[in-house]
A and B are shown apart, each in its own frame.
Chain A
């Protein structure tokens, strides 16, 4: 088993929490996990990415080779296309549709969504809207994680356990909120089918 995932977003959007949940779930499953993060200057509202590698064998490179990522998981629509050179031919683009506009030349939304939908394997969800319905906009990244869950090759219960481990110290209500967000994301995708 091998899963190479590019996590994308804008500094401050919480892609590292997604990475942490998947990482904890994979470790619990007995898999190897390697995760390269971006710290420093670009965290100030710039484009950020994280390379998350999961495998049943030891992992050598900290970075994913070009054209070999199985998934781009993006919390922001424009950022979902920035790392296409890493995506394999059969790879999935799974992205939030709510834009984070902090630059004057942000592309027109219709053009952007048309571009995203022009690729082979795409899941676009409005994670922010779903997160708001559940009661916390902050959980939009976990909604997105839920939307990716069936393509991760990691059992859903391990992801739930990852959430419990990551959010446990913040209290049971935060855990429940994020479990609900995970489920809402997963349900959104299965309903679409």
Chain B
């Protein structure tokens, strides 16, 4: 059957057809649609495939590993920076190895369309020393997800699928294949496999090292790594993942005269690359993300062949690739279109009209006036848009949960009061532990939890502690008289300013919970109701 799927959806469909019993994820652009597709799927509902959101990427990764321990197949999904959060279980899962097939799908965001950096997850895969699949198109995304589990089980190793924004969010026809049955429960043969005590870890690590030559062999013979010979050996081209599409766009009808290696599986196929290197005068490397292939081919001294890529600026050092950039790297003259006229103004994203964060920032700005600027730490979510005019309310956005702990550190340094603004879902993702740090020292911080009962920025997914934020704060140990709950509405402005002023003046931990549901999720619910 042919389906018209986003790259993200192709991976989800491939994982379901590949016999997963569960998908574990935390929403993050450009990875969100993978788990959402399973959540919507009738097949998944019928088979009771687990698909509920995890609280963060680390809990997702650990749950996926747990499902694998029990012998079943699982996929874990996240955006690139989510892998930083999940790094500990991710790296160690390469040491434990797996029981049921385990695939970690990571969606990178070069050009930072919706992210704070453009880190390349292939480095993480290499760091963990596990095989990486990098699809060039939606069909490969499907195939790699579907076949990846048996590969994972063959070597008892977790595998990574790495995609980038454009593939994740681009649709094309995908031919689906028959459904593979789920595994039944089976426990690991070796009782020590998952016990990473040093003595066991040393044994497990040797197994991982020993497996490296198998992974290399698989890469040499993989259907995803292909050598296309060409007569014109003045240049050889290595194209990784989606950059292969941009290359082929420049050679309609596949008429490229140069030898090409299309890379879709790592570690790199060494023999293939040695052949290209020995037969061609120069090598051009096309890769979306960091120049990881280019660096490994160049080595430290760069004594070999001339290698063109991002490092010598044949391609830009940062940002995503596109067919025009690749055309220029190939020396083709490109079309330019027309310039954008000067009267066109930028249109940055903004908080929705009627959004509760607007009322929170209006009140906070007023309450903060007496303390001056630059002492509001914030976090990752829609409310990060409070950094832009007309609010200009916040002074930081670094990583999930950092608002609370950065405010604490600043308070430790003597910046009193220090303020944190964090959303409900970011709070449960990574804010609770930081709050405990602050409570343990009764740090003079005022924490505003702008609770809209949704993971709003990624499309209004269910937040993991809706309605329970107050209880969590009390449970962590914030003094009950300093947990204040407000309804952020224009008519409550004065009350909000007053409460904020009181808590800012308090020399200890206070939490102000501003509770009002996301305007987008309310609209969506109403719409669904009328449609029913």
B341 pairs with A68, CB closer than 8 A: no
- Given the complex of chains A and B, what is the CA–CA distance between A64 and B30 in angstroms? 20
**One of B164-172, B229-237, B268-276, B311-319 contacting the partner:** B164-172
Partner of A78, one of B29, B336, B344: B344
Are A66 and B324 in contact, with the CB atoms below 8 A? yes
How far is B346's CA from A103's CA once the two chains are assembled, in angstroms?
A: 8
Which residues of A from 27 to 55 have beta carbons under 8 Å from B?
27, 32-47, 51
Q: Are A115 and B32 in contact (CB under 8 A)?
A: no
Q: Does B455 contact A (CB under 8 A)?
A: no
A115, closest chain B residue (CB)? B341
Which residues of chain B are near A82, meaning CB under 8 Å? Answer: 340, 344
A125 CB within 8 Å of chain B: no
Which residue of B248, B336, B345 contacts A85 across the interface (Cβ within 8 Å)?
Answer: B336
Partner of B334, one of A34, A42, A67, A105: A67
B349 and A84 contact, CB distance less than 8 A: no
Q: Which of A35, A36, A88, A102 contacts B350 (CB 8 A)?
A: A102
Q: Say how far B121's CB is from chain A's closest CB, in angstroms.
A: 17
The CA-CA distance from A186 to B452 in the complex, in Å, is: 42
Q: Inside 8 A of B347's CB, which chain A residues have their CB?
A: 10, 45-47, 78-79, 102-103
A137 contacts partner chain B, Cβ-Cβ < 8 Å:
no
Asked whether A32 and B350 contact (CB < 8 A) given A60-B245, A85-B340, the answer is no
Q: How far is the CB of A76 from chain B (nearest CB, A)?
A: 9
Q: Is A87 an interface position by the 8 A CB rule?
A: yes
Please judge, given known A-B contacts A41-B29, A60-B245, A81-B341, whether A34 and B171 are in contact too, CB under 8 Å.
Answer: yes
Given A23-B171, A45-B352, A60-B248, the answer on whether A81 and B336 have CB atoms closer than 8 Å is no
The proximity string for A residues 96-131 relative to B, scoring 1 for CB distances below 8 Å and 0 otherwise, is 000000110111000110010001000000000000
Tell me which residues across on chain A come within 8 A of B322, comparing CB atoms.
61, 63, 65
How far is A82 from B327 in the complex, measured between Cα atoms in Å? 22
Q: Mark B299-340, 1 if CB is under 8 A from A, else 0.
A: 000000000000000000000001110010000001111111
CA distance A23 to B4 in the complex (A): 9
In the complex, A11 has a CB within 8 A of chain B: yes
- Smallest Cβ-Cβ distance to A64: which chain B residue: B323
CA A111 to CA B342, docked complex, whole Å: 11
B340 A63 Cβ-Cβ under 8 A: no
A103 touches B345 (CB 8 A): yes
Known A36-B166, A39-B32, A59-B172; contact A44-B349, beta-carbon cutoff 8 A: yes
Asked if B114 is at the interface (CB within 8 A of a chain A CB), the reply is yes
State whether A44 touches B324 (Cβ < 8 A): no
Question: Chain B residues with Cβ under 8 A from A45's Cβ?
Answer: 347, 349-350, 352
Residue B6 interfacial (CB < 8 Å): yes
Q: Please determine whether B340 and A39 come into contact, CB atoms closer than 8 angstroms.
A: no
Residues of A within 8 A of B338 (CB): 84-85, 87, 119
Interface SS of B by simple majority: loop
Interface size on A, residues (CB 8 A): 52
If A27-B4, A170-B531 touch, does A36 touch B345 (CB 8 Å cutoff)? no
With the chains together, A33 CA to B245 CA distance in Å?
15
- Of chain A, the residue at the smallest CB distance from B6 is A37
CB-based A-B contact count at 8 angstroms:
151
**Least Cβ distance of B43 to chain A in Å?**
19
Given the complex, which residues of A lie within 8 Å of B32, measured CB to CB?
39
Q: Are B169 and A38 in contact (CB under 8 A)?
A: yes
Given A44-B352, A82-B344, also A87-B29 (CB < 8 A): no
Tell whether A88 pairs with B323 under 8 Å between CB atoms, given A46-B348, A81-B341: no
Judge whether B246 is part of the interface by a CB distance below 8 angstroms: yes
Kindly state whether residue A86 has any CB partner on chain B within 8 Å. yes
* Complex: A71 Cα to B453 Cα, angstroms: 41
CB pair A37 B171 closer than 8 Å: yes
Which residues of A have CB within 8 Å of B252?
57, 60
Chain B residues in 8 Å Cβ range of A47: 346-347
Q: Which interface residue of A34, A38, A60 has the most chain B CB atoms within 10 A?
A: A60
Residue B199 at the chain A interface, CB threshold 8 Å: no
- Confirm or deny: B130 has a beta carbon within 8 angstroms of a beta carbon on chain A: no
Which residue from chain A places its CB closest to the CB of B246 in the assembled complex?
A: A61
A48 → chain B closest CB, angstroms:
9
Which chain A residues lie closer than 8 Å to B245 at the CB level? 60-62
Contact A85 B339 (CB under 8 A): yes
Residues of the B chain whose Cβ atoms lie less than 8 Å from the Cβ of A61: 245-246, 248-249, 322-323
CB within 8 Å for A32 and B173 given contacts A39-B32, A40-B457, A84-B337:
yes
Q: Which of B323, B349, B352, B382 has the most CB of A within 10 A?
A: B349
Given known A41-B114, A60-B248, A81-B341, contact A88–B349 (CB-CB < 8 A): no
Across the interface, A84 reaches (CB within 8 A) one of B242, B340, B458, namely: B340
Q: A33-B172, A65-B249, A66-B324 are in contact. Are A111 and B340 (CB under 8 A)?
A: no
Q: Complex: how many Å from CA A10 to CA B32?
A: 21
| B261 at the binding interface (Cβ < 8 Å) | no
Contacts of A115 in B (CB 8 A): 341, 343
8 CB-based A-B contacts, threshold 8 Å = A32-B172, A37-B6, A44-B349, A46-B347, A64-B323, A69-B337, A78-B347, A85-B338
The 3 nearest A-B residue pairs measured at CB: A67-B335, A40-B114, A40-B29
Residues of B within 8 A of A (CB): 4, 6, 29-30, 32-33, 113-114, 166-167, 169-173, 242, 245-246, 248-249, 252, 322-324, 327, 334-341, 343-352, 382, 385, 457-459, 531
Knowing that A63-B322, A107-B345 touch, tell me 13 more A-B residue pairs with CB under 8 angstroms: A34-B170, A37-B169, A39-B30, A41-B114, A42-B113, A44-B385, A45-B349, A61-B245, A61-B249, A68-B335, A81-B341, A102-B350, A170-B531
